[in-house]
Structure formats: structure tokens, C-alpha cells
Amino acid sequence: MNIGFVGLGIMGKPMAMNLLKAGHRLNIFTTNEETLNEFRQKGAVITISPKELGRVSDVVITMLPDSPQVREVALDEEGLFYGLGPAKLFIDMSTIDVATVLEIHEKFRTLGVETLDAPVSGGEVGAVSASLSIMAGGSTEAFARVLPIFQVLGKKISHMGAIGAGQITKSCSQIATALATQGVIEAFTLAKSAGVDVAKVREALLGGFAESRVLSLTGERMIRRDFKPGFKVELYRKDLRIALSAAKERALFLPGAELMSGEMEQLLQAGKGDLDFSALIQVMEK
């Protein structure tokens, strides 16, 4: 397919590379010269603006940090809105609020452009290994059309329903992962305080009902003190803000998510927002 891509960061870059490796034509827009040159050498087409990217691409993917960046790329004067046209398709794979998803969807619909919200889970490891979990919202027809793209990027691919359903599902994923992380932190804290080898505790738990990807991957990072960002605390804090906002709109109180959001805020206040979310163990240690 003829694919445009904006957002070549920790996760977007390997995702775009996987599309190139799979034989798709890739058009990119980036202001990072090093990234631009790397993709040019791999055969990607360089564009000068999101507007031009939309003009030369049939399908455009964004993978950006937050709602304001997606809105800017989509709707600013040199944005995708002024380059896309009928029969083209826009997929936002960022994690953003549903209100922004719906705003862009309504505006693009006036152009005859289909949209999907398709946030992902799996972090940098999943992006590199093309094993992401993809949660898509949008029409059945649009989902079927881009399924071959999703199959290059991920292993678990789910059509969740109408536009916006993908983002709600991602919020559910982030809440569940955050609380699983808290469980690992508290288990490790108890083990350490009792003088039991934390690494051995992790190995023992991996053989029982407590086994999880969080215990396996994030737990290992905690033990090795490897807080190099795979998924940054500041981005996770943003994701929980979105989840808590969605809960508030529905008059729901989510105490666990509130707790984890507060712990992430402590790391942000300490200037540690660029660390991997496994660094949350430092809050308990402090």
C-alpha cells in the first residue's frame, strides 16, 4: 500500500520500519534530520509537510504523544486536512482523548475520508518485534481495508466497534497494566523488607497464578534497575489522565487508577518523567 507516517519516535520509528520491510511504499514527514536521513537511505519518500504527505498517500498513520500534536498534524493550515481527499483513509495509532478522535473524524468525513482510532499496547519491544496489540474503532469496511497494515505491525488485532471504541479499550488496558505494576511493586517491596531475594521471588511467581507480562518484563527491569524508557512515565501519566477523564464523564470513581496517577505525578515532580514506568518502584522505595 501507499502509506504516509507521522510520529517517528520510540514506537513510531520501528513501526514505520516494519512497514518498509514488508514492501509497502512509505512516505514520511519529520523535522528530525537524523531520522529523516535514516529513512531516506531505506527508500522512504520524504515530504515537506503533513499536507503534502496527505496528498501523496492513500493511507496516513499518526503515532504522536498526545491530543494537541494529533490535532495540529491533522487540522493546522499545513495539516492533513488540506491534502487528503475522497477514498483516502486516516489511522491515528496514538493514545488520545475521544473528543479529539471524534472532532477529526467529523471534519475528515466532510472530505470523504474514512478514519480509525487504533491505539496500541506493547511498548517499544512490541513495536520493534511487530507484536503489538492493536485496538481499533471505526467502520467495519475501513477496518477490513487496513487489516493487512495492522498485520504487519501487531499480533493481537481487535475491531472494538465504532469510532472512539479503540481509545476506550486502550484506557482499559492502561488501567489494568498500571494496577498490575502496583502489585509487582508491592510484592517486591515486601520480599526485600523480609530479606528474601527479589529475583528468586519473581522466578517463583512466574510459575504460578501471579504470572503476567508485567511481572516478567517490567519486574525484570525493576530488579536490574533498567529504567531506560520503553514507555515513559510522562506518557503513561497522560494515558491515565485520559482514562480518568473518561471515567469522570460517566460518574465513575476508579481508586486504583487515581492512586497510580498520583504515583506517576510524584516521579514527574522529581524530574523523572523521561524514565520507563518501571521506575515507579522508586516511589515505594522512597
**Unique residue bearing C-alpha cell 498513520:** 61
Count the neighbouring beta carbons within 10 Å of the beta carbon of residue 112.
Answer: 11
CA distance 238 to 116: 21
How far is residue 29 CA from its own chain's centroid?
Answer: 19
Whole-angstrom distance, CA of residue 115 vs CA of residue 258? 31
Which of 88, 170, 238, 272 is catalytic? The answer is: 170
Q: Based on the residue annotation, tell me whether 170 is a catalytic residue of this protein.
A: yes
Give the cell for residue 87.
477514498
Annotate 97-119 with DSSP letters as a single string: -HHHHHHHHHHHHTTT-EEEE--
Nearest to 173 by CA among 248, 118, 101, 228: 118
With H, G, I as helix, E, B as strand and everything else as coil, classify residue 30.
Answer: coil
SS3 assignment, position 17: helix
Neighbouring residues of 233: CB distance < 8 A, sequence distance ≥ 6: 264, 267, 268, 272, 273, 274, 275, 276, 277, 279, 280
Which of 111, 51, 113 is CA-nearest to residue 88? 113
Catalytic machinery residues: 170
